[in-house]
Structure 1
């Protein structure tokens, strides 16, 4: 008897949900082509923007307190000149580049395993790699920081990664 009462209580909600879906279906069908066109346009704009950034290298890090001081004191001052910085302040990327395109690139990480992250633009596409494990091994296991820069230089294909001391 209790099951019958439970089913009867649930029935109006199921009917309302079905009616809502039937009513909203035509709107979704009408909106779908516009959404598809907007996504396609956004992707074309992003590809065009990537063409402008061809050959650029980025070191991306966030405001995570466990690594922020180490990155700002040990990594950023010694980054190779060809590597630019993107700081992710919460969900907002801070750099000299257009926020919507940089956000799109960050959102599209294929090899995301935490920040910091390396990003390079080659042949109109993004290539990324997480430095999280390598950096935290350096911090917590007192591994040499040179390993971080060597890994970074290999990823970016940089011959002489040290900043010029002038």
Structure 2
């Protein structure tokens, strides 16, 4: 018996999953719940959830409305897609798996970005950026201590910028 509509493939489509992840990132950066966004667009939160997980494909008209809602160009939903490793047709992409290299996929990173956006003082923002950079450098060095400048030194203004004549 022939089914109506498009047939379901074995796996999820990589582009649909990617667009859904971008949708989730935008929603979380805005500090909105699935219900908030869904009701603003005339959807159920379950439908939005399916979009975010890549189970359902987001139509072009819906993408346009989402772009207007979040005040971003539609291209934002596809930025970075070219750089992803291609998944052969029929295989399931790593939809539920969080990749450590893609920091915007983690809830913590999204929340940090949201809080950072709300900081208006440029000096505080610069100090937080410097602190994050130092912490990342220490992590990259593989040791918890001794590599780079510590947080206390950054707070006291003895970080790299202070050494170079700048201010933190």
TM-score normalized with structure 2 length: 0.26
Task: Judging by fraction of residues, say which structure has more strand.
Answer: 1
TM-score normalized with structure 1 length: 0.26
